[in-house]
Amino acid sequence: MLAQQIVNAISLGSVYALFALGFTLVFGILGVINLSHGGIFMLGAYAALLLISKFFLPFWIAIPVAMIFSGLVGLLIDVLILRRLRQRQASHLMPMIATIGAAILMTSLAQGLFGSEARRFPLEMFNDENLKLGNITIPLLQAGITTLSILLMLLMVWVLKRTRLGQALRAIAESPRAAALLGIPVERLFYLTSFIAAALGGTAGILIGLSFNAISPFMGQPMLHKGIAAIILGGLGDVRGAVLGGLFLGVAEVFAITFLSSEYRDALSFGLLFLMLLWRPQGLFGASATRSA
Amino acid sequence: MLTLDRVSCHFGGVTALDQVNLTVLEGQVFGLIGPNGAGKTTVFNLITGLFPPSEGQLTFQGQSLLGLASHHIATRGIARTFQNIRLFSEMTLIDNVIVGMHTHLNYLIWDAVLKTPRFRTSEREARAQAQQLLHRVGLGDSPLELAGNLSYGNQRKLEIARALAARPKLLLLDEPVAGMNATEKNTVMALIETLHQDQLTVFMIEHDMRFVMGLCDTVAVLNFGRIIAQGSPSAIQSNPAVIEAYLGQEDT
Amino acid sequence: MDWSSWWSTYSTLVLSIGVYGLMAISIYITLSCGLLSLANAAFMGIGSYVSAVATMQFELPFSLALLLGTLTPSVVALIIGVPVLRLSGVYLAMATLGFGEVVRVVALNLDITGGPLGLNGIPLLTEWWHVLLALILVLILLNALRHSKIGRAFEAIREDETAARLMGIATHHIKLLAFVLGAAIAGLAGGLNAHYTFTLSPGNFGFENAVDILTMAVLGGIQGLIGPLLGGAIITLLPELLRSLEEFRMAANGVILIAVVLFLPQGIWDPRRFRRWLKKRATHVDA
């Protein structure tokens, strides 16, 4: 029983972590809170759903295509909105409000196009195979979801730590102006960051859609809340912190449902976040509390 | 009036100030000079309580400043200007100056809401005084202009007016004539002379040697966080350690 | 259409314009002090529940209920303000959003607030002149503050908090004042709101509402008191005006938010822009 819950918690937590990773990447590198990340998450799920149920694409094609689609949505938001605000050196309030607007727009479009009720993947395509480890059963689907999100996170961490691209991104996170002086194409890497972050967010949407088998226009908002909680728990802009924050949140939620009641699940993330901000506003890994972003 | 006793300040591993001793006497115009990055502004930041010193003692009029919040230090009678101008650029000139008087407007919220006589007189007087101060620094013509629209030199003058509005006992000026042309420098010089005649104690950081040597009665030289010389302007100008610090600076 | 039938159709809408005008002003106060606080929807919720419970369960007079609805969120703001206002920028936004979510979930799980069903059958006590009176009083109060040392301190803190502190302004007290004042006005608006909408549920005070209120202030402009009122009226009327768009109605809200940020960053009511226009026209006439 306990072991089964731990498996569930890790599975849920790894998807949260994937979502939070994209979210924190944008904050760390572009210095803005992109509140449309939840909307992108939702559109990613719908994109995969359409590709599979309308165009009858196999899974292994539909998921990458939906990822790229989500990435393009993120890129579009950057080019149309965030870029202009960067040029104007607008205060941090402005991108937050504009991306809230983008999120409302996406939700409303999805609602108008696909209706308000939850949609499902044609899951007959999975036979209910299970992996058995001792007396823990892991549905194959759940195992796949967890593996994919962990692989993507490892890939991102590798890119950031070990490649020249990652080095350039870290330089921008430190100071965009200094990075530009070093000849790093800052603006282009901003676009790339928005693309990657949105692709990760969209992937998280696909995976959550698969694991709960319910996709609705409103799924983005609660996820955004969890993402905010996760990255603040871990420390804004910190990749390692976002991953641990997401995992922690997944674990906390699963155990809150098991041992408390499901009503408190949604309060949990924000309750934790609220306490964390009072106790240690810089998060677990954040360096400075006074950085006013 | 103001003493720094063996004050040190470390940021991470870097020592910004190392065992600094300074004494500013009442009525003095005291100058602090030194090459860029010597830690001069850090001295002002410590005095005004923006961060605490790592060790040492700061006293003002015989009382320790340690552990006091910035706004309490301001209330004790220390006002300052900033090297990188920090005006309220969206506010008018006169409002900038009146903000400087904040602690002297001692009406309560209720007075403002009910527009009591106390509120009216105190606001009226504040406005008149602010206008006078603007005149004094040579900005009396357009009190309703926005501070952000002023030229660089005039912004520095406005900062001085704002600091004076707090009726300080000690005025800290951080590079008051940086970026000014010769005429502007002369007006600021004349202004500081009148302040000196009014018995205000002035402690300034400045690079312009003619300015410092012309105004200050005591000058201290800070280099790499240490005071390397202190004395009258003429003594400082002929001090070999000072000459070396400045020559060394020019080499690099 | 005669007056009484017009009023019976549109009274809720008219009262909402007033109440959301108050809400926009409540967030304007914190914004004018440089604080991006998103807690006002939650303070409105607290005010609504407290005053509704006061009239329904304790049968207190409406005036006393409104007073309680104003004071309770103020006290809550005073308590959480001390730690929360150490934060700034996005950290403050996130913390206040978190607080809002906590309030919503508490309302969802308490018996006295009716749990997820909320409260039904709240007596309809709010008259149009109550809302008008509240608006006028709040405007007089804030206008007086704006032209006093308090208002100047707000503005100074928004522009440069460090410089303000070095002018002797006790910045944390002033910020706390702005936060508590915002909470009080939001609570008052909540109390008025509860007594004409008949029902209350926790969902009314969540993230969406917090965003709506922020939108009002940003759309209207925060250069003065008129902007938020205007923004409140527009956002309240918008769903009515856009009825024909049906499902896509919310999309218009999103587009407006984006457009305002991109093209009207100072909001609709921007006295400085008006002055520039006037100047331009004057020079045209001169020439």
Sign for the pseudo-dihedral over CA of C72, A261, A202, A244: positive
pLDDT over 70 at B106, yes or no: yes
Give the Cα separation of A33 and A20 in Å (integer).
Answer: 12
pLDDT surpasses 80 at B134: yes
Contact: A85, C95; criterion CB under 8 Å: no
Mean pLDDT of A24-46: 94
Measured between beta carbons, the chain B residues lying within 8 angstroms of C184 are none
- Inform me whether the pLDDT recorded for C250 exceeds 70: yes
Predicted local distance difference test score (pLDDT) of residue C182: 97
Distance (Å, rounded) from C-alpha B238 to C-alpha B249?
17
Q: What pLDDT is recorded for position A149?
A: 92
Residues from chain C contacting residue A86 (CB–CB below 8 Å): none
Q: Do B74 and C168 touch (CB under 8 A)?
A: yes
User: Has residue C169 been placed in a domain?
Assistant: yes
Buried b / exposed e along A47-71 (16+ C-beta atoms within 10 A): bbbbbbeeeebebeebbeebbebbb
Query: Please, which pLDDT band fits residue A292 given cuts at 50, 70 and 90?
Result: very low
Statement: residue B139 has pLDDT above 70 = yes
Band (pLDDT 50/70/90 cuts) for residue A215 is very high
Q: Name the DSSP class of A161.
A: H
Whether C144 and B115 lie within 8 Å, measured CB to CB? yes
What pLDDT band is residue A262 in, cutting at 50, 70 and 90?
A: low
pLDDT at C33: 94
What average pLDDT does the structure give for chain B? 92
pLDDT of residue A266: 67
Interface test mutation site (partner C, options B44, B71, B96, B111, max chain C beta carbons within 10 A): B71
* Mean pLDDT on B124-143: 95
Q: How do residues C165-186 score in pLDDT, each as one tens digit? A: 999 999 999 999 999 999 999 9
Please state the rounded mean pLDDT for residues C268-287: 73
Residue with more model confidence, A8 or A280 = A8
Could you tell me which residues come within 8 angstroms of residue A42 by beta carbon, excluding any fewer than 6 positions away? A106, A107, A110, A205, A215, A216, A217, A218, A219, A220, A223
What whole-number percentage of chain C has pLDDT above 90?
58
Looking at A152-156, A253-257, B140-144, B186-190, which range is the least confident one?
Answer: A253-257
In a domain, C139, yes or no: yes
> What are B35-92's pLDDT values in tens digits?
887 889 999 999 999 999 999 999 999 999 999 999 999 999 999 999 999 999 989 9
B133: contact with C, CB 8 A cutoff: no
Of the listed ranges B3-12, B108-117, B216-225, C241-250, the one predicted with least confidence: C241-250
pLDDT computed for residue B202 by the predictor: 96
* Confidence bin at C108 (pLDDT 50/70/90): confident
Q: How large is the average pLDDT for residues C273-287?
A: 70
**Structural domain boundaries in chain A:** 2-279
Q: Which of C148, C149, C156 sits opposite B88 (nearest CB)?
A: C156
Q: Report the residue of C35, C82, C84, C91 to disrupt the A interface, i.e. the one with the largest count of A CBs within 10 Å.
A: C91
**Buried/exposed C44-76: b ≥16 CB within 10 Å, e otherwise:** bbbbbbbbbbbbbeeebebeebbbbbbbbbbeb
Contact in structure between C233 and A94 (CB atoms under 8 Å): no
Q: pLDDT category, C287, cuts 50, 70, 90?
A: very low
Q: What pLDDT score was predicted for residue B14?
A: 83
Please state which of the ranges A241-255, A276-290, C208-222 shows the lowest mean pLDDT: A276-290
Q: Which helix (H) or strand (E) holds B246?
A: helix B240-251
CA dihedral defined by A202, A204, A207, A210, rounded to 10 degrees? -70
Of the ranges B113-122, B151-160, C8-17, C18-27, which one carries the lowest mean pLDDT score?
A: C8-17
State how many domains chain C has: 1
Q: How far apart are CA B82 and CA C201, in angstroms?
A: 52
Are B and A close enough to touch, i.e. 3+ CB pairs under 8 angstroms?
no
- Is C153 part of a structural domain of the chain? yes
Q: What is the pLDDT of residue A128?
A: 65
Residue A88 three-state SS: helix
What integer best gives the mean pLDDT of chain C?
A: 90
- What gap in Å lies between CA B131 and CA B149, rounded to an integer? 18
* pLDDT tens for each residue of C140-159: 999 999 999 999 999 999 99
Q: Which residues are within 8 A (CB) of A100 and not within 5 positions of it... i.e. 6 or more apart?
A: A35, A36, C211, C214, C215, C257
User: Looking at beta carbons, which residues of chain C come within 8 Å of A278?
Assistant: 83-84, 95
ipTM greater than 0.95, yes or no?
no
Cα dihedral C223/C229/C235/C238 (nearest 10): -120
Query: Is C91 in contact with A236 (Cβ distance < 8 A)?
Result: yes
Higher pLDDT, A259 or A22: A22
Domain of C215, in residue numbers: 11-286
Looking at the complex, does the CB of residue B48 fall below 8 Å from at least one CB of chain C? yes
Cα–Cα distances (Å) from A102 to A27, A116, A216, A285, C259, in that order, read 17, 18, 17, 30, 10
Q: What is the 3-class SS of chain C, one letter each residue? A: CCHHHHHHHHHHHHHHHHHHHHHHHHHHHHHHCCCCCCCHHHHHHHHHHHHHHHHHCCCCCHHHHHHHHHHHHHHHHHHHHHHHCCCCHHHHHHHHHHHHHHHHHHHHHCCCCCHHHCECCCCCCCCHHHHHHHHHHHHHHHHHHHCCHHHHHHHHHHHCHHHHHHCCCCHHHHHHHHHHHHHHHHHHHHHHHHHHHCCECHHHHCHHHHHHHHHHHHHHCCCCCHHHHHHHHHHHHHHHHCHHHHHHHHHHHHHHHHHHHHHCCCCCCCHHHHHHHHHHHHHHHHC
Model's pTM, two decimal places? 0.89
Q: Which pLDDT does position A139 carry in this prediction?
A: 81
Contact list in A for residue C254 (CB cut-off 8 A) is: 101-108
Across the interface, whether the CB atoms of C95 and A277 are under 8 A apart is answered yes
Confidence of residue A289 (pLDDT cuts 50, 70, 90): very low
Neighbouring chains to C with at least 3 Cβ pairs closer than 8 Å = A, B
Task: Give the distance from residue B23's alpha carbon to the nearest chain C alpha carbon, in angstroms.
Answer: 22
- Assign domain A2-279 to a CATH class: mainly alpha
Q: What's residue A233's pLDDT?
A: 84
Residues of C in Cβ contact (< 8 Å) with A236: 90-91
Residue in C166, C175, C177, C279 to test binding to B, most B beta-carbons within 10 Å: C166
**Chain C CB contacts of B91 below 8 Å:** 152, 155-156, 159
CATH number at residue C113: 1.10.3470
**pLDDT of C102 over the 90 cut:** no
Chain B contact present for C280, CB below 8 A: no
CA of C238 vs chain A CAs: smallest distance (Å): 15
Q: pLDDT, tens digit, for every residue of A164-206? A: 999 999 999 888 888 998 889 999 999 999 999 999 999 999 9
Q: Which of C141, C167, C170 sits opposite B99 (nearest CB)?
A: C167
Shortest CA distance from B90: residue in chain C: C159
Q: Which residues of C touch B80 (CB under 8 A)?
A: 166
Least confident of A134-143, A208-217, C88-97: A134-143
C6 is a domain residue: no
Sorting pLDDT into bands at 50, 70 and 90, what band is B252? Answer: very low
User: Does residue C179 lie in a domain region?
Assistant: yes
